[in-house]
Amino acid sequence: MTVGFVRRLRQQIAAYQMVAWLPLPVLQECYHVILANSLRRAWAAIDPAARPPNWLVMYKREPKLLEVGFVALAEFEEILSTIPLTLAQPEDLATSAATKPLEERLRYFITAYYLLPQDALILSEAERLGVMAVATLDLDWRRATAFDIYTCPVE
């Protein structure tokens, strides 16, 4: 589902000649999801009688298991390389006079839309960039009514 969504997004960006920004927290979140899912699958493949209580404990005991997700990271980066997007650098996120402090916007998005902190941070930085249209696989973001949220339909 994720790969298909990114491929459709790439086509739409190219067709509409849209500008696509990728704030660093979004890239971090994508990497986290890819690696966590790879670790979850590795954990689930272990005999239940022998495996640790959860995938995070397994990773903490044996960090090199993170390697199970490295191929998926490379595949994701390959897909990203085909999309005309710009990685938003910290200097791109300079606060304008009209923008409230990042920590205030972070708290606002958490409390107004019931979002977890990482999602609220991404929206806060998007807002600071003046980006009000966001593509995501995270259905929680549909609650952020101040933005145009593009996501996959619920299956």
Share of the chain above pLDDT 90, in %: 27
In the chain, domain spans: 1-88, 92-148
> Is the per-residue pLDDT at 96 higher than 60?
no
Per-residue pLDDT tens for 118-134?
888 888 888 887 888 88
- Most confidently modeled of 13-17, 61-65, 90-94? 61-65
- Mean pLDDT lowest among 4-8, 49-53, 67-71, 137-141: 4-8
93 phi/psi in degrees, rounded to 5: -100, 20
Whether 83 contacts 6, CB under 8 Å: yes
Q: Which residue has the tokens 């849209």?
A: 18
How much is the pLDDT for 97?
47
What's the sign of the alpha-carbon dihedral 90, 3, 80, 9?
negative
